Amino acid sequence: MAKTPGKNTSGRGQRDLFVKVKTARGRKTSSTRWLQRQLNDPYVKRAQMEGYRGRAAFKIMELDDKYRFLVPGARVVDLGCAPGGWCQVAVPRVNALGEKKGKKIGTVLGVDLQEVEPLAGAEIHQLDFLSEFADDKVKEWLGGEADVVMSDMAASSSGHKQTDHLRIITLCEHAAYFAFDVLAPGGTFVAKVLAGGAEGELMKTLKSKFKTVANIKPPSSRSDSSEKFVVALGFKGRDGEHRDEEE
């Protein structure tokens, strides 16, 4: 459960001091910049105060506040769920713990290549979603089809902007095709992409499979990042494209 933010007892009022980090011997300048940015990031501080596992939790909050796909009773799959921040947000919103009396009880299923610390209200499995029959396993664990498939995955950075763009678009495409296999009609797909020019084919495919497709950069996404999110609503079903052609 998220912690309640404590009172400010620092004596500095509401304004925090900027933390400057010196480059230590043996540490790269880029690492120093990353550390300095983390220490001064208001979303990192807020995540720590409220008990979330990372600042990314606020991205899915903002996306859901706008599009309302994490509803009580929803069955949610979080691909590449480590460290678990998106699952943390999903659990209370879909009522996975049954704390909202009179509301449907949802399911939150997280999968990742690495072990993830257990989280109350979420079922987490160590699984490569690209492996054979992974979609069947997920539907078995869910007890049926998913209402939401979401992904905050990013490929390891190579340091080359265009290469990194192509890698994350490929990863997003894999996530999308996995979603096509496990989503129930009317379902939602949410995934992180990087702007860079190669996402056109992905968007074309999503628009053929969903009623509504939007690109959005939530407020908590860093302004200097090319990251954005695709939100695809109203899955037409696995034969949706064929039906459209016949109509």
Q: If you ran DSSP here, which 8-state letter would residue 224 be given?
A: T
Q: Which of 192, 204, 211, 228 is catalytic?
A: 192
CA 25/CA 169 separation, integer angstroms: 36
Beta bridge partners of 125: 111
Q: Which residue bears the tokens 């696995």?
A: 238
Binding residues: 84, 86, 112, 128, 152
Sheet-wide strand order for 107-112 = 122-126, 107-112, 75-79, 146-151, 183-194, 227-235, 210-216
**Among 148, 196, 204, which Cα is nearest to 173's?**
204
- Phi and psi torsions of 131, nearest 5°: -75, 160
Binding residues for S-adenosyl-L-methionine: 84, 86, 112, 128, 152
The verdict on whether 192 is a catalytic residue reads: yes
Angle at 87 between CA 177 and CA 39, to 5 degrees: 110
List the catalytic residues: 192
